């Protein structure tokens, strides 16, 4: 892990809080005050940012790369909860309550994180209470996502989870149809994707091959999937 001071406007990416919609409209003086209590850290692929059970009184902002948030069951099985992209943050619960972290975070590629003391963010919240509401809205979104994840793993079979994921990727990234085909470049490896979907890499590969045999999609290489029958996938959902 590399580390540098991120209080100057010139630190690699300017003010990292400008990556977060909650902070982007704050006055320059407040942004400067927040950044004075922050550090900029660089993690290599596979490096752990924090573990479940750690205590951190910080807000973490992803300013480059991607981060895997996950839990490990008592049986040692990993369940990926979310993949954080640029502008996403973690540790927001520490803004409202002193608590230990319940998830683990790992860099999926070379990743840059802006780490801000929660105490400083709480000071800003006292000045701008509307920020607290925005954090709560974001936290509510994460609870909703967790509930959907529980429902998906508990009530849907693997083929349904795959179909749901692929259609969600099309909609989220606004992928346009080309001759009734939708090209998806998977943002993660199949190993990571299998954990996200609550299955094994072997089962994922087998089910994708089955969907390909049924004429619903084509696989090209390790990361490229072409949906050839999106309505057929919707029927599986």
In the numeric block, which tokens belong to residue 166? 């692929």
Per mean pLDDT, which range of 2-16, 46-60, 73-87, 102-116 is the poorest? 2-16
> Quick count: other Cβ atoms within 10 Å of Cβ 57?
13
Question: Using alpha carbons only, how large is the chain's radius of gyration in Å?
Answer: 20
pLDDT class for 1, splitting at 50, 70, 90?
A: low
> What's the pTM?
0.74
The lowest-confidence range among 19-33, 60-74, 164-178, 202-216 is 19-33
Taking residues 145-165, report their average pLDDT: 85
- What are the chain's domains? 2-154 (2.60.120.10), 158-236 (1.10.10.10)
pLDDT band at 57 (very low <50, low <70, confident <90, very high): confident
Nearest to 105 by CA among 51, 178, 163, 143: 51
List pLDDT tens digits, range 13-25.
456 778 787 787 7
Which one-letter DSSP state was computed for residue 176?
Answer: P
225 vs 189: CA distance, rounded Å: 12
């Amino acid at each position: 892990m590399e580390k540098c001071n991120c209080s100057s406007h010139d630190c690699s990416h300017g003010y990292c809080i400008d990556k977060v919609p909650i902070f982007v409209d704050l006055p320059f003086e407040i942004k400067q005050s927040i950044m004075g209590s922050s550090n900029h850290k660089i993690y290599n692929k596979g490096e752990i940012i924090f573990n479940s059970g750690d205590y951190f009184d910080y807000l973490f902002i992803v300013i480059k790369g991607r981060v895997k948030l996950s839990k490990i069951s008592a049986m040692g099985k990993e369940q990926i909860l979310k993949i954080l992209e640029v502008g996403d943050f973690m540790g927001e619960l520490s803004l409202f309550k002193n608590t230990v972290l319940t998830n683990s975070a790992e860099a999926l590629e070379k990743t840059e994180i802006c780490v801000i003391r929660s105490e400083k963010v709480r000071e800003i919240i006292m000045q701008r209470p509307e920020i607290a509401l925005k954090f709560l809205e974001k936290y509510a979104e994460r609870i909703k996502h967790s509930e959907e994840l529980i429902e998906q793993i508990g009530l849907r079979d693997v083929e349904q989870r795959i179909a749901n994921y692929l259609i969600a990727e099309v909609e989220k990234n606004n992928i346009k149809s080309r001759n009734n085909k939708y090209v998806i470049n998977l943002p993660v490896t199949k190993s990571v994707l299998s954990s996200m979907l609550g299955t094994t890499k072997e089962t994922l590969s087998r089910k994708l091959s089955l969907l390909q045999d049924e004429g619903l999609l084509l696989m090209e290489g390790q990361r490229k999937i072409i949906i050839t029958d999106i309505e057929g996938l919707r029927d599986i959902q």
